[in-house]
Chains A and B, each alone.
Chain A
Amino acid sequence: MIQFERRTETSGVWTTISFAVASLAGLAATAVLLASTGADVLQVFGALVKGAVGSPKALATTLVKATPLILTGLATVVAFRAQIWSIGQEGQVFAGAMGGYLGAQLLAGLPALLFFPGVLAFGIAGGMAVAWLSALLRNRFGVNEIISTVMLNYLAVYLLSWLLQGGPWGETGGTISYHQSPMLPDAAFLPALMGSSRLHAGVLLPFLAAAICALVMARTPLGFEIRGLGYNPEALRHKGVNIGRTVTLIMLSSGALAALAGAIELFGVTHRLRADNLIGLGYAGIIVGMIGGLSAWGTVLAGLFFGALASGAVYMRVLGDVPAALVPAIQGITLFLFLCAGVLARYRIVRVVVQ
């Protein structure tokens, strides 16, 4: 008889095998999904790869698409490692973009060296404000952060909707509302890297953020407390850690990272405030963080992978016949299988002799 038995120590080889099998199974499931739509599977995969990494331009698109995903992924890592189940990344992305836009109005005219740090700080402050509300509700009234963050997501999304349509920030052409703000001035565009118009300087920030996250988590007293809080808050409370303050700090950090994603989208990609580019970045970040194993560098990898998928999907669609919903489907399949692999990695398969 074959049985599963919990491992006392995880094995690196076995973990690698588990995730390799999961990746292959994901590929296979995607192929089946594609075949069912009547598409030429190999051609579609070829297009996907080409669109993701096939040219410098494709690579630039991959990086740009990965940037917000890595940041919201890191926001997830910071919170989930402490077992704070913040689902507020979505709203914080919106708050980040709105804060950034407000900053751009107030700081217009400053030299770039002051302007960009300034507007990003405005964006970050927006996300932190939303996150702080959830932390306050949890610490003061015991409101579960899952509930409060989801509710605040709606608030942030609809606040933007109002601001753009009928509110003060909407762009109106005569009587038509376009559900977006007017274009920012050229001076408010994040500078381009390597002459490419697409590749903005903001793509460097997720890597910097990941490095800081990894360092804080592994080496600082705060990281010690975040990890400890996730494992055993009761022991931390007994050993003098102020749980409420730590929760607030974690929520604020998580909110700041997610908000940065929104602000970078605004100044690096859309250059005007609009919702459609922001929608789903926060929720996708939860998937990215989970697939990244709630580690900072794992999240970078997962974010790059999803960025590549998104970039490849743009190219793939040119082929026609491929439903646009394929990419979120692949994301879902990958998450599901990776979660399975994560469980599998903790078990060993044993043969049991029954008398």
Chain B
Amino acid sequence: MTTALRVEGLTKRFAGMIANDDVNFDLLPGEIHCLFGENGAGKSTLSSCIFGFYRPDRGQIFVSGEPVHVGSPIDAIRHGIGMVHQHFVLVPEFTVLENIIVGTQRSGIGLKAADARKKLSRICESYGIVVDLDAYVWQLPVGRQQWVEILKALYLDARILILDEPTAVLTPGESRILFNIIGEMCARGLSIILITHKLAEVMQSNRVTVLRKGRVVATLKTSETSPDELVRLMVGRDVSFSVAKPALAPGEEVLAVEGLTARGHWGETVLNNISFSVARHEILGIAGVAGNGQKELFEVLCGVRKPDAGAIRLRGEDVAGLTPRALMDRGVGHIPDDRFREGLVPEFSIAENLVLGWQRSPKYRTGLMMDRRAIADLARDMIAQYQIAARDETVAAGKLSGGNAQKVIIAREFLHASGLILANQPTRGLDVGVIEYVQRQLLKKRGEGFAIVLASEELSDLFSLADRIAVMFKGEIMGIVDPRTTTIAEVGVLMAGGREGGRS
């Protein structure tokens, strides 16, 4: 059988760093082939080379057995290769139809909307994609927006589709539907390259290629391997998946939120009547699909967003509306979800980032000047203690990998916080090894008597760490459940807006 796509000896270097080293990869017609690996293993580089974003330094790409030159995404599309990005590139004010035909028009000035509509209806029908072509994109839920991206690729006659972390923003239900569509496409002879972190999705593929440090470690039939083996191949060592969570009785209440409501820039309600509490030795998990108010909740709790109504009590004191400074001084630590934008100054060194927010503290000053020696000593301590992979404390934080950057934030917040830690998506985009590390650190703080609010899109995170899980949907808490007596599927229903059914 000829391969749909074959890559031979592909090598790509960036400024002396090797991102893909002699990679061989092939994709059969009608196959789902998964690219699996840690961040920085070279998955994105490989797919970007295939789609023409990067030009490989060496190597050859074959489509249907023929050697091809893919110098740009336009070339890729010409060869029937399509790509759906993690972050969609749609114009919210355009309709689905407009989004698909604008910019994908091959010739002529007129939009030929009628022809396009006919073709798209046919595509939708054959793959079981249900989407209103005249709906505005802003009206669509995130899952449907992704279908629009897929439609766009199919409209361009893609035979090979690259899906980059397609379920990152989907509910479990939406993911299931996506995989049905993928299955339908494969049945019709399309080939799928699936890039993912999630083992459950890897296991739905036909074959899987594991990448580590830019090299192909193995290409396996999925039916002949196991999640344990894949993780071992990916990380290069054994990883214990479940961190042990000791049973601890919650202590006195640290944070109590009552009827918290906040409005957005346009007056829309972003947080609606939120109430919960967290006690010492307790982790409250916040589940929910991205964009359902988690970010706004954390912004209010850490003081960068003002609430419109409701009370936030920290050890009994009403702190609603206080500044970030005042909350930090009261012992609140915050691990934001956008670490390079909100958590770090990328141009600052590790040492400077470790005292960010505490630069005026007498601990780090001698007279009017900052105490460079004390800060450097502290930074060296933290680098050792948190196993931050960096040459020394003067390295700019922006040069660190996501995992090491996150360790800098965690080190800083754990060092300065006392009592309450707010962690929003602390494991997002991190390697398995680092995720395990972050989880253990959070449990350690729980053991020390901290109260922790932890939001994560990875339900596995919450189920292994949280003492209780609050599920958010459209700015509301749909229910607070006990992970010991609740299934992931039940939480999934709440995440999609279903009410807690008959349980108390």
Chain A interface residues (CB < 8 Å from chain B): 5-8, 215, 219-221, 224-225, 227-228, 231-232, 234-242, 352-355
Contacts and interface: CB of A to CB of B under 8 A. Distances in A.
Nearest to A232: B345
Contact of B370 (A219, A234, A352, A353): A219
Interface string B316-340: 0000000111001000001010000
A220 B336 CA distance: 26
A235 B343 contact: yes
B342 interface: yes
Contacts of B368: 220
A97 B343 CA distance: 44
Interface stretch (B164-172, B353-361, B489-497): B353-361
A234 B341 contact: yes
A250 to B, nearest CB: 16
Contacts of A6: 15
A224 B352 contact: yes
Contacts of B341: 232, 234-235
Interface of B: 15-16, 55, 57-58, 60, 302, 304, 323-325, 328, 334, 336, 341-348, 352, 356-357, 359-360, 365, 368-370, 372, 399
B346 A240 contact: no
Nearest to A354: B55
Given A219-B370, A224-B359, 6 more contacts: A6-B15, A7-B15, A221-B359, A221-B360, A232-B341, A238-B343
Q: Which of B345, B352, B357 has the most CB of A within 10 A?
A: B345
A236 B369 contact: no
Nearest to B372: A219
A242 B325 contact: yes
A238 B302 contact: yes
A353 B56 CA distance: 10
Given A237-B304, A241-B357, A231 B365 contact: no
Contact of B344 (A215, A225, A232): A232
Contacts of B60: 355
Nearest to B69: A355
**3 closest Cβ contacts across the A-B interface?**
A239-B357, A240-B325, A221-B359
A219 B15 CA distance: 32
Contacts of B357: 238-241
A8 B15 CA distance: 7
Contacts of A354: 55
Contacts, number: 73
Contact of B369 (A219, A227, A234): A219
Contacts of A227: 347-348
Contacts of B369: 215, 219-220
B370 A220 contact: yes
Nearest to B338: A234
A3 to B, nearest CB: 10
Contacts of B334: 238
Contacts of B399: 8
Contacts of A219: 369-370, 372
Given A7-B15, A8-B15, A228-B345, A238 B336 contact: yes
A112 B15 CA distance: 61
A231 B325 contact: no
B411 to A, nearest CB: 14
Q: Which of B57, B302, B346, B359 has the most CB of A within 10 A?
A: B359
Contacts of A236: 345, 356
23 contacts: A8-B399, A219-B370, A219-B372, A221-B360, A224-B352, A224-B359, A228-B345, A231-B345, A231-B347, A231-B348, A234-B342, A235-B343, A235-B345, A238-B302, A238-B304, A238-B342, A239-B356, A239-B357, A240-B323, A240-B325, A242-B325, A354-B55, A355-B58
Contacts of A239: 324, 328, 356-357
Contact of A238 (B58, B324, B360): B324
B294 to A, nearest CB: 16
B72 to A, nearest CB: 14
A334 B328 CA distance: 47
A67 B372 CA distance: 32
Contacts of B356: 228, 235-236, 239
Nearest to A216: B368
B370 A232 contact: no
A263 to B, nearest CB: 26
B69 to A, nearest CB: 9
Nearest to B327: A240
A219 B16 CA distance: 34
A336 to B, nearest CB: 26
B304 A5 contact: no
Nearest to A230: B347
